[in-house]
Structure 1
């Protein structure tokens, strides 16, 4: 199965949640009790959805769940990490 670049959760937040509700970034930030700058960074893909933000989103909008937001963020982060090289040394028990 081919891997693809998962959407940043901020893109989903802006396009699939805020836009259909007719909410501006400022209005949504007020409901979430976060700064406009914080929410804008997430929506523009320059910030991540933390556990706290995921729970805020769940409490304000009901759906999707905090777990769902975190799964989207994790999938996005992991895909991008896998595109690069991670400097590690594999463990080999017989090499000891």
Structure 2
């Protein structure tokens, strides 16, 4: 089953973690030991969750795991890439 336009992981971070805990981007950035600008870009969908950020999120908020954050980012990136024409030619063996 093809996923339809998955949420950016930053949206999930903002809506499912920060908002329910009542934590501002500024406070979360302090806890994560990253700049407010870096975290704001992620939460606002203009930055990706890197492996380092995923591990920081896991260590600060416990759940979801770093692997889950990376899977969410990967699903988001892959879906968006699939919407583009990569202009590649499939390989066909001459032996066939």
- TM-score of the superposition, structure 2-length normalised? 0.94
Kindly report the root-mean-square deviation, in angstroms, between the aligned alpha carbons of the 2 structures: 1.1
Q: Report deviation, 1:88.
A: 1.5
Q: Which of structure 1's runs of 4+ aligned residues deviate more than 3 A?
A: none
Deviations 1:22-73 (A, max 9, x none): 0000000000000000000000000000000000000011110000000000
2:36 is aligned to 36
1:81 is aligned to 81
Aligned residues: 95
Is there any run of 5+ residues in structure 2 with no aligned partner, and where? none
* DSSP-derived class of the 1:94 partner: coil
Q: Report deviation, 1:2.
A: 4.5
CA distance in 1, matches of 2:73, 2:3: 16
Q: How does 1:20-59 map to 2 (within 5 A)?
A: 20-59=20-59
Is there any run of 5+ residues in structure 1 with no aligned partner, and where? none
* DSSP-derived class of the 1:42 partner: helix
CA distance in 2, matches of 1:74, 1:3: 12
